[in-house]
């Protein structure tokens, strides 16, 4: 897996990584670090293809797996605040296009901010603000709730 990762042969690395995640999920935290790189690179590879040759189902499956890798890493190796802060960096771009994802995104970014406080990665605060604004536009949050959340983040 490591050699294929270094060669940027992510499709082959994914095969080995998938087997390891399924059969030895508690092997080592590095498995999850490398798995994140592999699956995120596979999403990029598939999305870089011409639109007419993209497999939307494959892309969605790769995104779902990439996000679940962070949850499984927490499950086996802890360090929830740090790992969720990393997950937040990709969650928005993987999920923002569907209105139905906004409650989950809101919950994720709220948890990231609650756990990390002022140490929250700046991009995750930005994404949280974007989530709040879109929730307001979609009538999922009231004006008062939107302003309250924004002020909480500003503080």
| pLDDT value for 8 | 79
Once rounded to an integer, what is the mean pLDDT over residues 73-97?
98
pLDDT tens for 32-68 read: 999 999 999 999 999 999 999 999 999 999 999 999 9
CB 149 within 8 A of CB 132: yes
Q: Which residues contact 132 (CB under 8 A, 6 or more apart)?
A: 106, 141, 146, 149, 150, 153
Report residue 78 as tokens: 């802890």
Question: Would you tell me how many other CB atoms lie within 10 Å of the CB of residue 39?
Answer: 26
| pLDDT value for 135 | 94
- Gap between the Cα atoms of 60 and 44, Å rounded: 12
> Is residue 102 scored above 80 in pLDDT?
yes
| pLDDT value for 2 | 59
| pLDDT value for 44 | 96
Confidence at 5, pLDDT banded by 50, 70, 90: low
Residue among 70, 122, 121, 120 at smallest CA distance from 94:
70
* Angle between helix 56-77 and helix 29-48 axes, rounded to 10 deg: 170
> Is residue 6 scored above 90 in pLDDT?
no
Confidence at 105, pLDDT banded by 50, 70, 90: very high
Length of the chain: 155
9 vs 5, 41, 56, 65, 105, CA distance in Å?
6, 10, 21, 18, 31
Q: Which residue has tokens 């060669």?
A: 7
> Is residue 71 scored above 80 in pLDDT?
yes
Residue among 73, 2, 1, 10 at smallest CA distance from 41:
10
**Mean pLDDT, the chain, whole residue set:** 93
CB 21 within 8 A of CB 35: yes
Handedness of CA 84, 59, 26, 2 (dihedral sign): negative
């Amino acid at each position: 897996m490591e050699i294929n990762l270094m060669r940027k042969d992510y499709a082959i690395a994914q095969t080995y990584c998938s087997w390891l995640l399924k059969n030895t999920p508690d092997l080592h935290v590095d498995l999850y670090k490398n798995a994140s790189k592999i699956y995120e690179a596979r999403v990029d590879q598939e999305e870089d293809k011409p639109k007419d040759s993209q497999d939307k189902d494959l892309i969605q499956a790769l995104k779902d797996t990439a996000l679940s890798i962070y949850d499984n890493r927490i499950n086996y190796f802890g360090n929830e605040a740090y790992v969720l802060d990393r997950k937040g960096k990709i969650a928005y771009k993987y999920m923002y296009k569907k209105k139905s994802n906004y409650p989950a995104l809101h919950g994720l970014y709220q948890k990231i901010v609650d756990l990390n406080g002022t140490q929250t990665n700046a991009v995750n605060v930005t994404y949280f603000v974007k989530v709040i604004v879109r929730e307001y536009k979609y009538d999922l949050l009231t004006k008062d709730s939107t302003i309250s959340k924004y002020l909480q983040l500003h503080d």
